[in-house]
Amino acid sequence: MNLFESCGVDDIVVVGDVDGGIPGGLRRRDSVAAGLAVVPSETDWVLIHDAARPLATPTLVRRVLKVASSTDADGVVPATAVTDTLKEVADSIIVGTVDRSRLAAVQTPQAFRLDALQSAHEANPHIDATDDAALIEQSGGSVVTVPGELTNVKITFRGDLDIAEMILERRTHE
Protein backbone atom coordinates (compact mmCIF):
# COMPACT_ATOMS: atom_id res chain seq x y z
CA MET A 1 0.00 0.00 0.00
CA ASN A 2 1.43 3.41 -0.94
CA LEU A 3 1.17 6.77 0.82
CA PHE A 4 -2.01 7.88 -0.93
CA GLU A 5 -3.90 4.59 -0.73
CA SER A 6 -3.17 4.51 3.01
CA CYS A 7 -4.89 7.91 3.29
CA GLY A 8 -8.12 6.89 1.59
CA VAL A 9 -7.38 7.93 -2.00
CA ASP A 10 -9.51 5.73 -4.27
CA ASP A 11 -7.48 5.74 -7.48
CA ILE A 12 -4.04 6.88 -8.58
CA VAL A 13 -2.98 8.16 -11.98
CA VAL A 14 0.77 8.32 -12.49
CA VAL A 15 2.05 10.69 -15.15
CA GLY A 16 5.63 10.47 -16.32
CA ASP A 17 8.31 8.22 -17.67
CA VAL A 18 7.95 5.50 -15.03
CA ASP A 19 6.49 2.00 -14.99
CA GLY A 20 2.72 2.29 -15.33
CA GLY A 21 2.85 6.01 -16.02
CA ILE A 22 1.08 7.78 -18.85
CA PRO A 23 3.13 10.19 -20.98
CA GLY A 24 3.48 13.68 -19.57
CA GLY A 25 3.90 16.98 -21.36
CA LEU A 26 6.54 19.64 -21.85
CA ARG A 27 5.26 21.80 -19.02
CA ARG A 28 4.01 20.82 -15.57
CA ARG A 29 0.49 21.90 -16.49
CA ASP A 30 0.61 19.72 -19.62
CA SER A 31 1.46 16.69 -17.49
CA VAL A 32 -1.38 17.48 -15.08
CA ALA A 33 -3.76 17.90 -18.03
CA ALA A 34 -2.70 14.46 -19.31
CA GLY A 35 -3.57 12.98 -15.93
CA LEU A 36 -6.88 14.84 -15.75
CA ALA A 37 -7.84 13.42 -19.15
CA VAL A 38 -8.01 9.90 -17.69
CA VAL A 39 -9.76 10.76 -14.41
CA PRO A 40 -13.36 9.48 -14.37
CA SER A 41 -15.89 12.31 -14.83
CA GLU A 42 -17.81 11.34 -11.68
CA THR A 43 -14.75 12.22 -9.58
CA ASP A 44 -15.33 15.14 -7.21
CA TRP A 45 -11.79 15.94 -6.06
CA VAL A 46 -8.30 15.23 -7.40
CA LEU A 47 -5.09 15.28 -5.42
CA ILE A 48 -2.03 16.47 -7.34
CA HIS A 49 1.41 15.60 -6.04
CA ASP A 50 4.74 15.93 -7.78
CA ALA A 51 7.74 13.66 -7.46
CA ALA A 52 9.90 16.63 -6.49
CA ARG A 53 8.42 16.36 -2.97
CA PRO A 54 9.06 12.74 -1.99
CA LEU A 55 8.86 13.38 1.77
CA ALA A 56 5.16 14.24 2.10
CA THR A 57 3.77 12.43 5.12
CA PRO A 58 0.44 10.63 5.56
CA THR A 59 -0.44 13.30 8.15
CA LEU A 60 -0.06 16.04 5.53
CA VAL A 61 -2.11 14.14 2.94
CA ARG A 62 -4.88 13.55 5.48
CA ARG A 63 -4.84 17.24 6.49
CA VAL A 64 -5.33 18.33 2.87
CA LEU A 65 -8.06 15.73 2.27
CA LYS A 66 -9.90 16.61 5.50
CA VAL A 67 -10.21 20.27 4.54
CA ALA A 68 -11.09 19.35 0.95
CA SER A 69 -14.02 17.30 2.22
CA SER A 70 -15.44 20.23 4.17
CA THR A 71 -14.66 23.41 2.22
CA ASP A 72 -16.58 25.45 -0.31
CA ALA A 73 -13.28 26.45 -1.94
CA ASP A 74 -12.09 25.05 -5.28
CA GLY A 75 -8.74 23.95 -3.91
CA VAL A 76 -6.67 23.18 -0.83
CA VAL A 77 -2.89 23.57 -0.66
CA PRO A 78 -0.38 23.06 2.15
CA ALA A 79 1.65 26.16 2.95
CA THR A 80 4.40 27.26 5.30
CA ALA A 81 5.26 30.78 6.42
CA VAL A 82 8.14 32.46 4.62
CA THR A 83 10.84 33.02 7.22
CA ASP A 84 13.68 34.38 5.08
CA THR A 85 14.00 38.07 4.34
CA LEU A 86 13.09 38.46 0.68
CA LYS A 87 14.81 40.96 -1.58
CA GLU A 88 13.85 42.18 -5.02
CA VAL A 89 17.01 42.18 -7.14
CA ALA A 90 17.77 43.69 -10.55
CA ASP A 91 21.18 43.12 -12.15
CA SER A 92 22.63 41.94 -8.83
CA ILE A 93 21.50 45.13 -7.07
CA ILE A 94 18.90 45.02 -4.29
CA VAL A 95 16.07 47.36 -5.23
CA GLY A 96 13.71 46.54 -2.40
CA THR A 97 12.70 44.34 0.48
CA VAL A 98 9.48 42.36 0.12
CA ASP A 99 7.00 42.35 2.99
CA ARG A 100 6.79 38.67 3.88
CA SER A 101 3.97 38.98 6.41
CA ARG A 102 1.36 37.86 3.84
CA LEU A 103 3.55 35.42 1.92
CA ALA A 104 3.53 31.63 2.10
CA ALA A 105 5.52 28.88 0.41
CA VAL A 106 3.12 26.28 -0.97
CA GLN A 107 3.72 22.58 -1.35
CA THR A 108 2.11 19.47 -2.74
CA PRO A 109 -0.06 17.46 -2.44
CA GLN A 110 -2.71 19.91 -3.57
CA ALA A 111 -6.41 19.02 -3.80
CA PHE A 112 -8.86 20.52 -6.31
CA ARG A 113 -12.45 20.08 -7.34
CA LEU A 114 -12.18 18.21 -10.65
CA ASP A 115 -14.61 20.46 -12.54
CA ALA A 116 -12.87 23.66 -11.35
CA LEU A 117 -9.42 22.35 -12.24
CA GLN A 118 -10.47 21.14 -15.68
CA SER A 119 -12.11 24.51 -16.37
CA ALA A 120 -9.01 26.36 -15.20
CA HIS A 121 -6.82 24.26 -17.49
CA GLU A 122 -9.12 24.83 -20.45
CA ALA A 123 -9.57 28.58 -19.84
CA ASN A 124 -5.97 29.64 -20.46
CA PRO A 125 -4.05 26.85 -22.19
CA HIS A 126 -1.10 29.09 -23.09
CA ILE A 127 -0.45 30.43 -19.60
CA ASP A 128 2.22 28.52 -17.73
CA ALA A 129 1.94 28.00 -14.00
CA THR A 130 4.23 26.61 -11.33
CA ASP A 131 1.27 24.93 -9.63
CA ASP A 132 -2.38 24.28 -10.27
CA ALA A 133 -3.49 26.70 -7.56
CA ALA A 134 -2.23 29.51 -9.81
CA LEU A 135 -4.51 28.31 -12.63
CA ILE A 136 -7.48 28.18 -10.27
CA GLU A 137 -6.66 31.72 -9.05
CA GLN A 138 -6.35 33.03 -12.63
CA SER A 139 -9.76 31.61 -13.49
CA GLY A 140 -11.38 33.33 -10.48
CA GLY A 141 -11.56 30.28 -8.24
CA SER A 142 -10.71 30.10 -4.56
CA VAL A 143 -7.94 28.15 -2.85
CA VAL A 144 -7.45 27.75 0.89
CA THR A 145 -4.32 26.74 2.76
CA VAL A 146 -3.60 24.18 5.44
CA PRO A 147 -0.38 24.00 7.46
CA GLY A 148 2.40 22.45 5.40
CA GLU A 149 5.46 20.65 6.73
CA LEU A 150 8.97 22.06 6.76
CA THR A 151 10.27 18.54 6.11
CA ASN A 152 8.24 18.32 2.87
CA VAL A 153 11.23 19.71 0.98
CA LYS A 154 11.31 20.13 -2.77
CA ILE A 155 14.18 18.39 -4.51
CA THR A 156 15.48 20.91 -7.02
CA PHE A 157 19.24 21.04 -6.43
CA ARG A 158 21.86 18.47 -5.38
CA GLY A 159 21.99 19.97 -1.89
CA ASP A 160 18.26 19.28 -1.50
CA LEU A 161 19.05 15.56 -1.72
CA ASP A 162 21.44 15.92 1.20
CA ILE A 163 18.71 17.59 3.26
CA ALA A 164 16.23 14.87 2.29
CA GLU A 165 18.68 12.17 3.34
CA MET A 166 19.05 13.80 6.76
CA ILE A 167 15.28 13.99 7.18
CA LEU A 168 14.86 10.34 6.19
CA GLU A 169 17.62 9.25 8.54
CA ARG A 170 15.97 11.15 11.38
CA ARG A 171 12.60 9.54 10.57
CA THR A 172 14.08 6.04 10.66
CA HIS A 173 15.46 6.70 14.16
CA GLU A 174 12.21 8.07 15.62
Give bridge partners of residue 86 from the DSSP assignment: 98
CATH number at residue 74: 3.90.550.10
Q: pLDDT of 9-59, one tens digit each?
A: 778 888 988 888 899 989 999 999 999 999 998 999 999 999 899 999 999
Residue 113 sits in which domain range? 5-172
Which of the two residues, 61 and 4, has the higher pLDDT score?
61
Least confident of 2-11, 67-76, 131-140, 146-155: 2-11
Looking at the predicted structure, is the pLDDT value of residue 110 above 80? yes
Q: How many domains does the chain have?
A: 1
pTM of the complete model: 0.89
Looking at the predicted structure, is the pLDDT value of residue 1 above 70? no
